[in-house]
Structure 1
Amino acid sequence: MSLPEVLLWRELRKRPGGFKFRRQHPQSGAALDFACMEARLAIEVDGEAHNRGDQPQYDLQRDRRLSADGYLTLRIPARAVLSDLDAVIPAIVALCEERGPLHRPTAGPPPRSGED
């Protein structure tokens, strides 16, 4: 892993917001830098190389494949992780909360006939 990925993983493994994250998670024929399965969020830390050559087109195709599988891809510039990690973590948590878990726990059994 690159330095920005190491720094981000050090924080994500603490389960911010109560969300569990995986690193190098295989999905849609690729290894995601990080993933929150509960929120179906793929997190990619992009260095400068992602802006060169055919890499932007490749990333777009990859994001489309992930979207077809129900994942939203969050691309974070490596420089953002290095310069302001304290802002990156709450942004990730907020996005996880916004997407919410796919399956919410029930509030108990349904009411019996005649009950509210």
Structure 2
Amino acid sequence: MVVFKKRLTLRAQQLRRTATEAEQKLWTGLRQRQLGGFKFSRQMPIGPFICEFLCRETRLVIEVDGGQHDDQAAADASSTRYLVSKGSRVIRFWNHDVLGNTDGVLSVILEALTSAPPPTPPASGRGAETARPYMPQQ
């Protein structure tokens, strides 16, 4: 019997409808290419995780964490490792930073968008240990 993986699309749609105040405030500054002309999407599934904000062009993921994330440090670290392994950069902000200093948060994001190129994604399992040098036939 074939087992299908559940898609996270419905959960992402629900999260868009129930965004926190901090997410709404940050989205106001990110949407419609307002920040440096970069396009952002919100609540985007990547693998088993849903990223709050994603700039596909630069592979930059923005996460906004509330107080509950103090107890979820291991889960946050796991999601960050996964996203980085897929070629993304991850920046995390606390809710109170977004609410109290939105312009400063947007400045940090713009700096990240323009300062460094996106990382090269992994070679999808074709690392050095499995690569074979080319040897012509004789």
Contact 1:24 1:33 in 2 (8 A): yes
Structure 1: runs of 5 or more not aligned: 103-116
Contact 1:42 1:71 in 2 (8 A): yes
- Specify the structure having the higher radius of gyration (Cα): 2
Q: Which has the higher contact order (CA 8 A, sep 6+)?
A: 1
* Length, aligned pairs only: 100
Structure 1, residues 41-80: CA drift from partner, whole Å, max 9, x if none?
111000010012xx10011011000011001110011100
Structure 2: runs of 5 or more not aligned: 1-18, 120-138
Residue 22 (structure 1) aligned with residue 41 (structure 2): yes
Name which of 51, 72, 93 aligns with 1:76. 93
CA RMSD after TM alignment: 1.3
In the TM superposition, residue 25 of structure 1 has moved relative to its aligned partner by 0.8
TM-score, with structure 1 as normaliser: 0.81
In the TM superposition, residue 30 of structure 1 has moved relative to its aligned partner by 1.1
Structure 1 residue runs of 4 or more that deviate by more than 4 Å after TM superposition: none
TM-score, with structure 2 as normaliser: 0.69
Question: How many angstroms apart in 2 are the aligned matches of 1:87 and 1:57?
Answer: 27
Identity of aligned residues (%): 37
